[in-house]
Every structure is written in C-alpha cells, then in structure tokens.
Amino acid sequence: MTEAIDPNLKPGRRSRDLSRGRRRRLLAAAIARTVITVVVLVVGYHLIPFDRGDTWQIGLVAVVALVLLFAGAVLELRAVKVAEFPTLRAVQSLTVSLVVVLLSFAGVYMILSNNDSGAFDEVLDHTGAVYFSLTTLTTIGYGDIVPLSHAARNVVMLQMVIDVLIIGVYVKLVTTTVRERLAAAPASSVD
C-alpha cells in the first residue's frame, strides 16, 4: 500500500513536455548521475579486500547490505514520490538498487569462497563473484560456477529471494509511485 502524496506537491512532469534541448540536458544529467553512482559503487567494491576475515563477516556483510538496501529503497521511493520528473528518478533508483544487490551478494560470495575453498567449485575473485551474482540475479545460471557448501547454497537461495522481491515488489512500488505522481491531481483538488 502506498502513502498518500502531499496534496501541495505539483504533479510529476514528463520529460517529453519539455523542449528538445532541455530534455537532452535533463536526460544527460540523469544518465551522468546514474553512471557516476554505479562507477563509485563498482570501484568501492573492487577496493574492499573481501579475501581477508572470518566467516562471521559473511553474516555481517549480508545483514549490513540488506539494511542498507532496505533503507536505500525507502529513501529512493520517497525521492521518486517528490521528484519533478519521477520516471527518470525511478530509472535511476532501480538501476542503483540492482547494482547494490549485485555487488552486495558478490562480496558475500567472495568472503565465502576465500574462507572455504570448498564453498564453490572454484575460488572467486572480484570479477568471478560479480559474474556469479549476475548470473544468479538474471536467473541464467550457466552452471560454470557452482555453490557446493551448505553456506554457499543458503546465500544463493537468499539472493534468489531478494532478487524476486526486488523485481516483483520494489519495481511494482516504484512504477505505482511514478503513475501516481504523473496522475496527481492539482493542489486545489481533494483526495
């Protein structure tokens, strides 16, 4: 269930209602913000030494990632609710959320792999962990990297559930919010 939108908030605008030049600048700025955010996340992921530490870090990384993802999703949903151009903001939100999920699970897979050489059929590095996380996220699962330990399989199952929640629930919440913003009545009308 979505919250009521502030009646004093202007309805969301569509970028197609703008001049061609303004639309291009708006789109370029949105793409730049999204790309910069994704690059910062990917570089940050590659700078974290997931190969050191104890097994307890797996749970800690997973819990912190899930809390940050949930908090980020709530903040992003609120940002879409008040955005002047909610569709652009929604695309940014969904893109960043998917990257955060992908990299969070990749970090957990690296810790698992480096702390238990039998967790997967090969030891994962940063790229291998992202690759495995992405094939799980997209449900392709080539089978070239296989979780072997119970812990690894449990984390993969958790990622599958989180992926379904993001794709099913979060995408629905964001798209519903965008539709509500675009259809929002003028401030003079009553709910």
The reply to whether 5 falls in a domain is no
Q: What pTM was estimated for this model as a whole?
A: 0.82
Q: What is the mean pLDDT of residues 165-175?
A: 88
Cα separation of 35 and 170, whole Å? 21
Residue 51 is part of which domain span? 15-182
Per-residue pLDDT of 173-188, as tens digits, reads 999 999 988 887 454 3
Per-residue pLDDT of 45-63, as tens digits, reads 999 887 766 667 677 777 8
**Which tokens go with 67?**
């809390």
The reply to whether 191 falls in a domain is no
Burial 62-78 (b: 16+ CB within 10 A, else e): beebeeebeeebeebbe
User: Tell me, what's the pLDDT at 145?
Assistant: 95
The total number of structural domains in the chain stands at 1
User: Tell me, what's the pLDDT at 11?
Assistant: 62
- pLDDT of 141 strictly over 80: yes
Which DSSP state fits 3?
P
Give ∠ CA 31-32-35 in degrees, rounded to 5.
80
